Amino acid sequence: MQLEPTNLSEMPNLPPANAIARAKMAMLNFFTEKPIASKLKSPIVSFSFDDFPKSAATIGAKIMQDAGISATYYLTGSNCQKNFENIAQFDAEDIERLHDAGHEIACHSYAHPRLRGRTQSEIEADLSQNLVFAQKLLGPDFQFQSFAYPYGEFDAFSRKIMGKKFQTARGVYRGVNKTVMDFANLKTVPLENRRYSKQYLDKYIEEAIRTNGWIIFFTHDVAEDCSDYGSTTAILLEAIEAVKVADIEILNVNEAASKIMAACQL
């Protein structure tokens, strides 16, 4: 199915966050918007892909399938059949195939805007457009449950909106989600080529085991010549192997969040 993205979501571009904006975002980590007191008795790991590149939908999906993993794919509708930051992105058939295979299709905005300083109408128009795009492929009853902030950027206002609209919203601040988790600004552990090492991986897995925490791994493209923000197949395979050796349950983001919420009701 060929589906050309429309451009109903119009937001002026913003430059990357400067030092002051980054400091403000960092401060928000100390004030939870949607606190969930975890009662997990064992750790959980989720694997996720942002934007998402064609290679994540093909090579990455094959690795997930072979390992029996349901991953979360954060969808940016305007990227369909395009190059984003010089990387080929998904097409409509990829979305349908991933969904049919049991992966979670989550929201990463339609136009991939930086969300600092946006109005409510701007944010809601963008989110609505991404949902319309997804529903054309996955049916009128489809709804996003999980969100990831484009570029990892947000402010208190946009965080509040995402906390109300989605079961979870994920940022890019590194760490294990544990004890009191902010479901409007979940932490993550990037599996990025530019920073990855086995020592780095083991540190977070050991912390998750020690604290009964939740790791959300994320990456972008998957290739032997991946970008700095992507993963080689070896990185993904090593991470999956380490998680399985540690006997940690692997769930997609929506499944993991639902398990944590269910435990809170006990």
| Residue 6 included in any domain | no
Q: What is the pLDDT of residue 20?
A: 86
| Residue 168 included in any domain | yes
| Residue 225 included in any domain | yes
Name 241's Cβ contacts closer than 8 Å, sequence gap at least 6: none
Q: What is the pTM of this model?
A: 0.94
Q: What is the pLDDT of residue 199?
A: 96
| Residue 50 included in any domain | yes
| Residue 54 included in any domain | yes
The parts of the chain modelled with pLDDT lower than 70 are 1-11, 266
* Contacts made by residues 119-126, CB under 8 angstroms, sequence distance 24+: 120/157, 120/161, 122/11, 123/158, 123/161, 124/161, 125/8, 125/9, 125/10, 126/9, 126/11
Total domains in the chain come to 1
Q: What is the pLDDT of residue 210?
A: 98
Q: Tell me: the pLDDT tens digits for 148-181?
A: 999 999 999 999 999 999 999 999 999 999 999 9
| Residue 152: CATH number of its domain | 3.20.20.370
Q: What is the pLDDT of residue 22?
A: 85
Farthest CA pair distance, the chain:
48
| Residue 207 included in any domain | yes
Q: What is the pLDDT of residue 10?
A: 59
| Residue 156 included in any domain | yes
| Residue 33 included in any domain | yes
Structural domain boundaries enclosing 32: 24-264
